[in-house]
Amino acid sequence: MLKVGLTGGIGAGKSEVSRLLVECGAVLIDADRIAREVVAPGTPGLAAVVETFGADVLTPDGGLDRPKLGSIVFADPEKLAALNAIVHPLVGARSRELENGTAEDSVVIHDVPLLTENGLAPLYDLVVVVDTPPETQLDRLVRLRGMTEEDARARMAAQATRDQRLAIADIVIDNDVPLEDLRRRVRDVWADLAHRAHTTRERSEHSQE
């Protein structure tokens, strides 16, 4: 198995790259999706969030009011740390569970938006960074996601810098290109990852003989 961390700044097009890798045959473990699952109604994760932040963070139907919780934690680093202390271990445990259910020669892509910020690179065999210039990120956030320029710049500023992401990258995928060029690049990266996964499996088998 090859464990790959996939990351990129907001608006870099990481979701498109992960989709293309899945088309090639990768197993995708999406940290954002798992983070939503572990605080779904009825979960111990949601109970812990309510115990920490109060019932005001719930919607009328008992789900988590994400915008409300976000407005609380992003204005207070201590509260954000408290939320992360609840959610991150649950996400990690679920990710390992999903990973353990994959075939030995799988390429497992962990889509982790805050991989750089949280110093998670050592958890993976290699790190793939989806890269775009900041002006392209800004344009996409405003034009495609409907953010104000001020909001988009604030979101970008809250993340790691482009240089910080590139510093931990083993493989860089430039996503400031036409879709067909991106497809070609992802196919090339996939061929490399699949080869590495196969080699890793062979090495493991020989070491057990």
Q: Among 87, 104, 121, which residue terminates a domain?
A: 104
Question: Does 207 have pLDDT greater than 90?
Answer: no
Question: Tokens representing 74?
Answer: 């992003």
Residues 144 and 178 in one domain: yes
The owner of tokens 């938006």 is 113
Task: Give the model's pLDDT for residue 73.
Answer: 85
Q: What is the CA radius of gyration of the chain?
A: 19
Question: Does 128 have pLDDT greater than 60?
Answer: yes
Residues 91 and 18 in one domain: no
Task: Give the model's pLDDT for residue 74.
Answer: 76
Mean pLDDT of the chain: 91
- Total number of domains constituting the chain: 2
Task: Give the model's pLDDT for residue 173.
Answer: 98
Residues 175 and 204 in one domain: yes
Kindly state the DSSP code that residue 176 receives in the 8-state scheme.
S
Q: Among 74, 104, 134, which residue terminates a domain?
A: 104
Instruction: Give this prediction's pTM.
Output: 0.84
Task: Give the model's pLDDT for residue 147.
Answer: 87
Kindly state the average pLDDT of the residues 69-79: 84
Question: Does 203 have pLDDT greater than 70?
Answer: no
Residues 205 and 131 in one domain: yes
Q: Among 45, 70, 104, which residue terminates a domain?
A: 104
Nearest residue to 133 via CA among 167, 173, 182, 175 = 175
Total residues found in the chain within this entry: 209
Question: How confident is residue 158, by pLDDT bands cut at 50, 70 and 90?
Answer: confident
Question: Does 206 have pLDDT greater than 60?
Answer: no
Buried b (16+ CB within 10 A) or exposed e, 118-138: eebbeebbebbbbbbeeebbb
Sign of the alpha-carbon dihedral angle for 89, 91, 93, 95: negative
Containing structural domain, residue 144? 1-26+106-209
Residues 114 and 207 in one domain: yes
Residue 131 maps to which CATH number? 3.40.50.300
